[in-house]
């Protein structure tokens, strides 16, 4: 019986089993049918059957196996009906029956050990846009409903439904297969998969729009998918680094909001609220990644970012943070994965490690136009100017950032910091 359910809660058992097994169901059924849309329909049929039957018959001893068996039978029935129809059409057209038999579909669905990983690669197919990859991954791998995904990305259910439907059609047109890519293609596709998972995590960790600073449901879903990916690709340093990064950053979730619901900056957080279990899990995964790196495996952005997050996790007080070490890690990250966001964060690290003028020097070299209308550069500039005692300029920068953000919680903090600096400037 799934964890957290009781014999008196068949609906809860169905939901728990679905959350735990939907990706394996859809993956196995996609292998069986070679049609992701049909696979999802069959899995949904099994879900509906469970919702109808378990309250009357009781929760089966092995709910996951029950769902799989039911979905498999529905799939076999579907193909038998299709085969019967094809034979009848053939008889009408040619006056004779066909000798072809229904393939042994039972065997095809029994080999599911790699199907979840294959499904993740399928939903992150290069023919899809990053937004469509994220939506389809949450739907087929995460098991979320269209309404849940729409809420996460602040769009309507109808819009999200259309996006998911178009993504499935695109996969069909691209003749995308449920097969693991190999060689250089696998490396490239794995990068796409990790990018999608981190996109989902970041959207939950620091929402780009809306009233809420965080959406913990997206953080939890992305972390769960990263754990799954790490289980399936346990010899990939970057995959382990991605999970470690999400565990360590996610450990701060309870401390990132004040009682009033406002964002709390890292150095102001109550670190006793950090999730020790997630920290230990993150450090453990990072240790495994470090061992692989020490044996010669290449490292990249996720491993290095996780290493930076581990430095924060190790500091029990903000003033204990080893900013010089973090600045050095950002220098390495800037070499391994250059980009404007990395440079802005490097400016923060150098500002803390070597003084605000050092941070401003890094920031001045950043092409902020590459970040579009992001409030990040202006908010970092405001912070560095404030630390340099240039309060008037800091107020202007915070005002600029507040005008750019689309998140109400972030805007409230930026407006307050602008007002505080204006007040300091007049003293």
Q: pLDDT tens for residues 269-317?
A: 999 999 999 999 999 999 999 999 999 888 999 999 999 999 999 998 9
Predicted confidence band at 51 (pLDDT cuts at 50, 70, 90)?
very high
CA distance 419 to 285: 42
Are the C-beta atoms of 14 and 146 separated by less than 8 Å?
Answer: no
Mean pLDDT along residues 155-163: 90
**Rounded-to-integer distance, Cα 194 and Cα 184, Å:** 16
Q: Which residues of 19-31 are buried (b: 16+ CB within 10 A; e: fewer)?
A: ebbbbbbbbbbbb
For residue 27, the model assigns a pLDDT of 86
339 CB contacts (<8 Å, ≥6 apart)?
none
Question: For 79-108, what is each residue's pLDDT tens digit?
Answer: 787 767 666 666 655 654 444 444 444 444
Concatenate the DSSP letters of all residues of 103-152 into one string: --HHHHHT--TTHHHHHHHHHT-TTS-HHHHHHHIIIIIS---HHHHHHH
Q: Distance of CA 286 to CAs 127, 247, 283, 330, Å?
A: 32, 10, 5, 17
For residue 360, the surrounding DSSP H or E stretch is helix 356-364
Give the range with max mean pLDDT: 207-211, 215-219, 355-359: 355-359
| Contact (CB, 8 A) for 112 and 23 | no
**Cβ-based neighbours of 76, under 8 Å, separated by 6 or more:** 102, 105, 106
∠ at Cα 13 (70, 161), nearest 5°? Answer: 70
Backbone dihedral region of 257: left (phi > 0), alpha (psi from -120 to 50 degrees) or beta?
Answer: beta
Question: What's residue 7's pLDDT?
Answer: 56
239, 218, 219, 217: which is closest to 229 by C-alpha?
239
Q: Which residue has the higher pLDDT, 91 or 126?
A: 126
Distance CA 145, CA 140 (A): 9
Residue 174: CB partners within 8 Å, gap ≥ 6?
Answer: 125, 127
pLDDT exceeds 60 at position 42: yes
pLDDT for 111 beyond 60: no
CA 3 to chain centre: 23
Rounded Cα distance between 261 and 316, Å, is 23
Q: How confident is the model at residue 5 (pLDDT cuts 50, 70, 90)?
A: low
Q: How confident is the model at residue 117 (pLDDT cuts 50, 70, 90)?
A: confident
Query: pLDDT tier at 371 (50, 70, 90 boundaries)?
Result: confident
Neighbours of 79 (CB within 10 A): 16
For residue 52, the tally of other CB atoms under 10 A from its CB is: 11
What would the mean pLDDT of 377-404 be, rounded to a whole number? 96
- Rounded to whole angstroms, the Cα distance separating 209 from 16 reads 30
Give pLDDT tens digits for 188-198: 788 888 988 88
The pLDDT value given to residue 110: 40
Query: Which residue did the predictor score with more confidence, 216 or 237?
Result: 237
Q: Give the tens place of pLDDT for each residue, 230-282.
A: 987 889 999 999 999 999 999 999 999 888 878 888 989 999 999 999 999 99
pLDDT, position 353? 97
Band (154; pLDDT cuts 50, 70, 90) = low
Residue with more model confidence, 175 or 210: 175
Residue 420 — very low, low, confident or very high, per pLDDT cuts 50/70/90?
very high
Q: Is 95 helix (H, G, I), strand (E, B) or coil?
A: coil
pLDDT of the residue at 240:
97
What span, in angstroms and rounded, lies between the C-alpha atoms of 408 and 110?
A: 49
Tens-digit pLDDT profile for residues 62-76 = 888 899 889 888 888
Q: Is-contact 142 204, C-beta < 8 A?
A: no
Check: CB of residue 209 under 8 Å from CB of residue 154: yes
Residue 19 CA, chain-centre distance (Å), reads 16
- In this predicted structure, the answer to whether residue 388 has a pLDDT above a threshold of 70 is yes
pTM to 2 decimal places: 0.73
Taking residues 368-388, what's their average pLDDT? 91
Between 400 and 14, the more confident residue is 400
The number of helix segments (H) and strand segments (E) in the chain equals 19, 2
Q: Report DSSP state, residue 255.
A: G
Helix (H/G/I), strand (E/B), else coil: 102: coil
Between 357 and 27, the higher pLDDT residue = 357
Contact 186, 120 (CB under 8 A): no
If you average pLDDT over residues 213-241, what whole number do you get?
86
Whether the pLDDT of residue 2 is over 60: the answer is no
What integer is the mean pLDDT of 164-168?
A: 93
Rg, Å, the chain Cα set:
25
3-state helix, strand, coil in the chain (%, to 5): 75, 0, 25
């Amino acid at each position: 019986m799934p964890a957290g359910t009781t014999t008196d809660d068949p609906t809860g058992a169905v939901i728990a089993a679905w959350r735990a097994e939907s990706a394996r169901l859809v993956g196995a059924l996609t292998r069986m049918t070679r049609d992701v849309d049909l696979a999802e329909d069959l899995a949904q049929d099994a879900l509906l059957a469970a919702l109808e039957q378990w309250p009357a018959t009781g929760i089966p001893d092995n709910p996951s196996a029950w769902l799989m068996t039911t979905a498999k039978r529905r799939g076999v029935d579907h193909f038998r009906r299709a085969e019967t129809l094809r034979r009848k059409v053939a008889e009408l057209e040619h006056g004779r029956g066909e000798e072809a038999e229904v393939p042994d579909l039972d065997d095809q669905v029994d080999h599911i050990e790699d199907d979840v990983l294959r499904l993740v690669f399928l939903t992150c197919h290069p023919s899809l846009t990053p937004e469509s990859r994220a939506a389809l991954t949450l739907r087929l791998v995460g098991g979320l409903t269209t309404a849940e995904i729409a809420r996460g990305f602040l769009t309507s259910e109808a819009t999200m439904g259309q996006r998911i439907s178009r993504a499935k059609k695109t996969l069909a047109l691209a003749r995308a297969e449920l097969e693991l890519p190999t060689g250089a293609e696998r490396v490239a596709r794995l990068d796409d998969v990790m990018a999608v998972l981190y996109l989902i995590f970041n959207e939950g960790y620091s929402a780009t729009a809306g009233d809420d600073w965080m959406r913990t449901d997206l953080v939890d879903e992305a972390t769960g998918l990263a754990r799954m990916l790490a289980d399936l690709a346990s010899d990939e340093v970057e995959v382990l680094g991605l999970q470690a990064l999400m565990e360590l950053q996610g450990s701060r979730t309870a401390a990132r909001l004040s009682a009033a619901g406002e964002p709390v900056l890292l150095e102001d957080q109550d670190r006793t609220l950090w999730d020790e279990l997630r920290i230990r899990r993150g450090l453990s995964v990072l240790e495994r990644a470090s061992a692989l790196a020490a044996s010669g495996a290449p490292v990249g952005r996720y491993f290095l970012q996780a290493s930076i997050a581990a430095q924060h996790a190790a500091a029990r007080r903000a003033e204990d943070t080893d900013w010089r070490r973090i600045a050095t890690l950002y220098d390495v990250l800037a070499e391994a994965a250059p980009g404007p966001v990395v440079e802005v964060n490097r400016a923060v690290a150098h500002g803390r490690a070597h003084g605000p003028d050092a941070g401003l020097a890094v920031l001045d070299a950043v092409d902020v136009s590459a970040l579009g209308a992001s409030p990040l550069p202006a908010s970092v500039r405001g912070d560095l100017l404030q630390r340099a005692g240039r309060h008037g300029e800091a107020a202007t920068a915070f005002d600029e950032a507040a005008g750019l953000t689309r998140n109400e919680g972030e805007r409230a903090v930026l407006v307050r910091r602008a007002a505080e600096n204006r007040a300091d400037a007049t003293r």
